Structure 1
Amino acid sequence: MSKLKMLVLSLHNYHDTHGNFPPAFTADSQGQPLHSWRTLILPYLEEMPLYSKLNFDEPWNSSANARWLNDQELHIYRSPQRPESSIADETHYFSIVDDETLLRPGGGVSFRDIADGSSNTIALIEAAGRGVRWHEPRDLSMDEAIDLLVGESDETHEWVEPGFFISTHYRGDGLYPRNVAFADGRVRSIGYVPTRELARAALTRAGGEEIPAEIDSGEYNRTKTVVGYTVHWRRVLSTTLFVGLAVGPFLRRRNPLEATGVEEVNHEDTKQLVSRSTSHS
């Protein structure tokens, strides 16, 4: 199961418990963000021990919470296409923060509020390299999300295409298809979205639009540059050993002299072949 799939199903489990989806973030009486939706769904990701240590009346970066959250890496929030990062607790999965989206700032959105249909509403977007920590209450604005979908973002991607023996590392200024999770739980890699209007239609929950077929238009890369390779030496060595053990017996040949019962004997630097059945005088 993909990480995006696990995250959107955790949103569903939160909905089953609370009757609605989590807010994009919790806030204090002044409207200042306290905690992210990524923190609120920890119990549904088998992270209840960490969740129970947090003080939700204080901000995510308060001294009481920072002791548990700082540099706390959770692999569920790290894209498999970007396994390494200079920020240990970076997230690559974002909600869209807007009153018209699934995870609105004040929360309270339920399935019955998705007038466009849960299969037509994007809930989460994968985006690497934004420098956001998973417990930080910061996600994508509507404009930022649209920029990502239509390819107008200035972000730089680094990603890995895994191979059995060698994985290839790439860098580019736009990577498509982009992985997204819909409100119904489906995860898809959608292609380049040609207009901002179409992108907005896919992000809002009750705009009366349907996602057109153009969005699922396949792969589109603006740039794609190879920046390195990773050789999986353990697989290379284990495969070599397996092949050697499997093929070795078929390649082994008996000495033809042994097969005919002939013995090779040296007499004063002169090699003579004599039959084992002949007696020596």
Structure 2
Amino acid sequence: MLRRYANITIRSQSFRRSWFTNDAGESLHSWRVLILPQIEANSFYELYDFESAWNSKTNVDLRDGTRQVDGVEPDAVSNAGRIYLPDDSPHMLETIFVAMVNGHLLEKDIWLSDVKLTGHYLPKGQPFVVLEIQYSGIHWMEPRDVSPPMQRFPDWININEVKDQIVRSIEIGAVTQMRDHDETLAYLDSLRHAEE
């Protein structure tokens, strides 16, 4: 599943946009929502209101999987996030795939209708690292992931809090590399040492 996901993101390059914020600095949209067209969840993507936050009034029924749309199979909307969930998950809620943001991100303003958003992007050449973890506590639509202890992401999960839950990881860059639990921990340790 993780390799399939990597192939999707490599083709789409959408993963380079990690998330969007508004003028107040509030996080609005996750990379997991941005790549929905590549996982063939177009019905959900077309219904999602990008001018509002992921948990706004206009998106809350999508978030909760309760929106009913004439002419669209209910499962096409309510199961859009299924790719991010464990196979035994009883409902769409908590993702097992989180990005690890480490280092500097670029910012670029974009306009959606009359709303200015700031896109936060990975610099070219910086790999995108996705961790598969057992329990994230993060809704799959939520624009929150994991990071090393950094002032910039105070509400994000500290990578040290989920190390024991890591199943595997994939680094998507010039070369795609899958790592098992122990290899992922060694890789994360090497990143920490590189920063010192």
Alignment of 1:1-281 (within 5 A): 2=1, 4-15=2-13, 21-71=15-65, 72-73=78-79, 74-80=81-87, 83-84=88-89, 88-100=92-104, 106-109=119-122, 112-114=124-126, 121=127, 123-143=129-149, 144-149=158-163, 174=164, 178-183=167-172, 184-191=175-182, 193=185, 197-200=189-192
> RCO greater where, 1 or 2, for CA within 8 Å and sep 6 or more?
2
Letter in 2 for 1:128: Q
What SS does the corresponding residue of 2:45 show, helix, strand or coil? helix
Check 1:97–1:136 CA distance in 2 against 1; reply closer, same or farther (3 A cut).
same
Q: Which runs of 4+ in 1 moved over 6 A?
A: none
Shift, 1:197, TM fit: 4.1
| Cα distance in 1 between the residues matched to 2:137 and 2:19 | 18
What SS does the corresponding residue of 1:63 show, helix, strand or coil? coil
The superposition leaves residues 109-164 of structure 1 with CA deviations (integer Å, 9 ceiling, x where unpaired) of 35x433xxxxxx56100112222110011111223224544xxxxxxxxxxxxxxx
Equivalence for 1:212: none
**How many aligned residue pairs are there?**
161
The superposition leaves residues 214-270 of structure 1 with CA deviations (integer Å, 9 ceiling, x where unpaired) of xxxxxxxxxxxxxxxxxxxxxxxxxxxxxxxxxxxxxxxxxxxxxxxxxxxxxxxxx
Check 1:141–1:108 CA distance in 2 against 1; reply closer, same or farther (3 A cut).
closer
Check 1:101–1:180 CA distance in 2 against 1; reply closer, same or farther (3 A cut).
farther
Shift, 1:30, TM fit: 1.5
The superposition leaves residues 20-76 of structure 1 with CA deviations (integer Å, 9 ceiling, x where unpaired) of x43221111111101110000000000111101111010011111112221444321
Q: Give ranges in structure 2 of 5+ residues lacking alignment.
A: 66-77, 107-117, 150-157
Shift, 1:188, TM fit: 2.6
* Alignment check: 8 A CA contact 1:9 1:185 kept: no
**Greater C-alpha radius of gyration:** 1
What SS does the corresponding residue of 2:17 show, helix, strand or coil? coil
Q: Which moved more, 1:179-188 or 1:36-45?
A: 179-188
Q: TM-score, with normalisation over the residues of structure 1?
A: 0.49
Q: Give ranges in structure 1 of 5+ residues lacking alignment.
A: 115-120, 150-173, 202-206, 209-281
Q: TM-score, with normalisation over the residues of structure 2?
A: 0.67
* Alignment check: 8 A CA contact 1:146 1:196 kept: no
